[in-house]
Structure 1
Amino acid sequence: MNKKMGYRWRLRDLMADQQMFQTSNLVPLLAERGITLSREQVYRLVTQPPQRLSMDVLVALCDILGCSPNDLIEPEVVNQQIRKTVGAESDSLSIEPRRSVIRRPGRK
């Protein structure tokens, strides 16, 4: 059984919990912690899940937001293959397309 893992980047949610609604609010707070990022870099950091993230930035974000890395990064299964055994009933719902018939009043 294979499953592909991904994650949900929750920086925007955690910022909103702290009443921080502008990405530019992070620029000076990061700078206070020795992290120099442009407004554009911070915007991308907030709006897109990062593929790479330095530990220094992660620690600074956790300090600013009063959270742990687990609060920022929520692992999730993106694609999961399910093994099926012969004769076993499926636990999931199976929806198959069905042809519709429209009947007009007075006609058969």
Structure 2
Amino acid sequence: MKRHVEYTWRLREIMAARGMNNLSDLIPLLQDRGVSLSSSQIYRLIGSRPERMNLALLAALLDALDCTFEELCPTTVVATETRHRLTGTEAGIAKKDAIRPIRARIHRPE
């Protein structure tokens, strides 16, 4: 089984629950915590799921919104079935049960 982690980004939902409807509502809260981002960076942060994030920014978001990481970014672990490959010994065992043709023998005429 192969496992990978999936996550959702709920920043917009949490901001709406706190009464913050504009990205300009978030800028002063982050600046009070020592994080200064441009409005375009905050727009991208709100609008799309980030692939990488500075931990200082994450901590500032959690403190400013008064939420936990699990509320902001719920994660789920998904297990997928991997295809089983036959190794040399397993392939030999599998071939024993299969019907194999008889090898042809060619003799030279004398």
- TM (norm. structure 1) is 0.68
Instruction: Give the deviation of 1:78 after TM superposition.
Output: 6.2
Aligned ranges 1:21-32 → 2 under 5 Å:
21-32=21-32
Deviation by residue 1:44-83 (Cα, 9 ceiling, x = unmatched)? 1111111111111111111111111111111135673389
**What amino acid sits opposite 1:44 in the alignment?**
R
Q: Which residue of 2 aligns with 1:63?
A: 63
| Larger Rg computed on CA atoms | 2
Root mean square deviation of aligned Cα: 1.9
Distance 1:78-1:43 versus aligned 2 partners, 3 A rule: farther
Q: For 1:79 and 1:26, how far apart are their aligned partners in 2?
A: 36
Superposed structure 1 runs of 4+ greater than 3 Å apart: 77-83
> Percent of counterpart pairs with the same letter?
41
Q: Which residue of 2 aligns with 1:80?
A: 80
Instruction: Give the deviation of 1:9 after TM superposition.
Output: 0.5
Q: Which residue of 1 aligns with 2:33?
A: 33
Deviation by residue 1:77-108 (Cα, 9 ceiling, x = unmatched)? 5673389xxxxxxxxxxxxxxxxxxxxxxxxx
- Any unmatched runs of 5+ in structure 1? 84-108
Q: For 2:37 and 2:55, how far apart are their aligned partners in 1?
A: 14
Q: For 2:19 and 2:82, how far apart are their aligned partners in 1?
A: 41
Q: Which residue of 2 aligns with 1:51?
A: 51
Distance 1:82-1:17 versus aligned 2 partners, 3 A rule: farther
**What amino acid sits opposite 1:24 in the alignment?**
S
Distance 1:20-1:79 versus aligned 2 partners, 3 A rule: farther
If each structure's helix is expressed as a fraction of its own residues, which one has the higher value?
A: 2
- Any unmatched runs of 5+ in structure 2? 84-110
